[in-house]
Amino acid sequence: MKGLLKWLGCAAFGIAALTSLPGGATAQDVQRGGTFITHMISEQRTLNPALRASTGVYNISGKIVEPLIDKSYDGYVPVLATEWSGSEDGLSITLKLREGVNWHDGKPFTCDDVAFTAMEMWKELLNYSSALQANLEGVDCPDPYTAVFNYSKPMPIELFVAAMPDLGHPVPKHLYEGTDILKNKHNTAPVGTGPFKFVEYERGQYVMAVRNDEYWRGPEYPYLDRIVWRFIKDKSAAAAALEAGEVHESGFIGVSMADIERLSNDERFDVGTRGYENNVAHSTVEFNHRNPIVADLKVRQAMYHGLDIDYAIDTIMRGFAKPGRGPIPSAGGANYTDDVPTYPYDPELAKQMLDEAGYPVKDDGFRFKLRHRPAPWGEYTQLWAEYFAQAMKEIDIDVELLTNDAPGFLNGVYRDHDFDTANGWHQFRSDPAVSTMVWLRSGQPNGTPWTNQFGWKSEEMDQMIDDAASELDPEKRADMYHAIQRKAMEELPVIFAIEHPFISVTSKKAQNHHNTPRWNSSSWYDLWLSQ
């Protein structure tokens, strides 16, 4: 991780890495009780992580509904699964489940819950998981605390484990079986096994969860009495709430970059990128290939040449980023390569390519018009959209920005396909097959957010993705992902333009914060507040 932290450019802001147990606190210093209040940029339509893989969902439900396996700075750690192993042929994976765990309604957690969730939700409905678990044939329960996942094609054990922190949240079978899963009331009032129990969801205002007094880790956990997630869309209002002590943390770049810079010099706050190592993201340009203009590869290449990525990094991200090199970020380890085609900023070349593609400048001064939907995930997604429109104007493309709330964006792009171009972010989650390849592989269920809903299909790419997902040899698998990365940069179905971390602003009253590489998505069972 040292290399990753180096390019994050913390020195540019003087921002220190976030720390756990600030001030040298020890276990004996823990103060129990209190309410931790955290800022949410946008509201969620579901709080069920078995149906929606999303940072906003994990940020809330990760404290209520636990995964089988989580990730720490020391590696993958047991949660609801205590042991895991794979067969030599890769066709089965066996999990030993934690005994003595109850759902928040008092019913016991068993293999039946895992099998039901895996087959009915992870395989069929969960956005990233439907592709990952496409070859899952069934889950056997030889006893209540053993789950055997059976596959028709090899499933690398490393891939399975890497997927579990994000795509491995069981939900209670007894509350979902025989219901319309997508309309089940517990999707917005989740019942889990976690350290906090859901209490209330006040639309447009907050979600509240309280201490689970029967938590399986023992009576000392969790330390907090409750957590409140406040929905504050206005970035300035969120920054003001932090300064007034009304909010303890804002994550995922929830306040403006200017406020991040300012608050990094305020001794009351920790500001930095620690705790997001498992959530490196790309700022994207997404194309609706149903439009014959952007379906033309030469047009997409020209548009890429029209983007001054270095300028965008300096002005929008304040240096907290680097140019993207396709769907896998440099944080992808052995699966990443920078040996790919690139498209340096060259507006004159872009204009020449658009002329050659048959799109000369017309009497109105433009070649064609595009309707562009920016994701409402924070300041920088809107600024990236505004820069995109400005850059396209420089090469004589007219871009109309269609601003929406979160449901409007998700429906407009991923369900209704009512856009020409769009931008948001794509998050990399440990392994390319966990969350990344669904942006490229065809055949994703219509309306599934953050998947290939772009009308782009390459049978060659589909086969490459499928082959890499079932390759058991890590070195061969890495070579296959290098080839996928190069092909994605050649064909540009999506432009993964800027690779960047997320940033949190956290009150120093918070202790044990950002102490895992996916902290905002984790359970916070050991988080506490100094009074």
Q: What tokens appear for 114 in the block?
A: 């895992």
Range in 123-137, 198-212, 476-490 with the lowest mean pLDDT: 123-137
- Predicted confidence band of residue 320 (pLDDT cuts 50, 70, 90): confident
- Higher model confidence: residue 427 or residue 198? 198
Average pLDDT across the chain, whole number: 92
| Averaged pLDDT, 377-388 | 90
Range in 143-147, 253-257, 302-306, 496-500 with the lowest mean pLDDT: 253-257
1 pLDDT above the threshold of 60: no
Q: What tokens appear for 189 in the block?
A: 């009032």
95 backbone dihedrals φ, ψ, rounded to 5°: -115, 135
Q: Tell me, what's the pLDDT at 26?
A: 55
- Predicted confidence band of residue 3 (pLDDT cuts 50, 70, 90): very low
Task: Give the global pTM.
Answer: 0.82
The helix-helix angle for 459-469 and 474-491 (nearest 10°) equals: 160
Q: Tell me, what's the pLDDT at 7?
A: 27
What dihedral angle (degrees, nearest 10) is formed by the CA atoms of 136, 47, 40, 288? 50
Model pLDDT for residues 227-286, shown as the tens digit of each residue: 999 999 999 999 999 999 999 999 998 998 889 989 999 999 999 989 988 888 899 999
- Predicted confidence band of residue 19 (pLDDT cuts 50, 70, 90): very low
- Predicted confidence band of residue 28 (pLDDT cuts 50, 70, 90): low
| Averaged pLDDT, 436-441 | 92
Model pLDDT for residues 401-410, shown as the tens digit of each residue: 999 988 899 9
Nearest of 462, 478, 438, 470 to residue 166 by alpha carbon: 438
Model pLDDT for residues 143-155, shown as the tens digit of each residue: 999 999 999 999 9
Domains and CATH numbers, the chain: 2-49+194-274+504-529 (3.40.190.10), 69-176 (3.90.76.10), 281-500 (3.10.105.10)
Model pLDDT for residues 71-115, shown as the tens digit of each residue: 999 999 999 999 999 999 999 999 999 999 999 999 999 999 999
- 3-state class of 515 per DSSP? coil
Distance from C-alpha of 430 to C-alpha of 328, rounded to nearest angstrom? 10
Sequence-distant (6+) residues with CB within 8 A of 70 are 76, 77, 79, 164, 165, 516, 518, 522, 523
- Higher model confidence: residue 8 or residue 242? 242
Angstrom distances, CA of residue 177 to CA of 81, 115, 119, 185, 218:
22, 12, 12, 13, 30
4 pLDDT above the threshold of 70: no
> CA angle, 220 as apex, 218 and 224 as ends, to 5°?
120
Distance from C-alpha of 339 to C-alpha of 327, rounded to nearest angstrom? 13
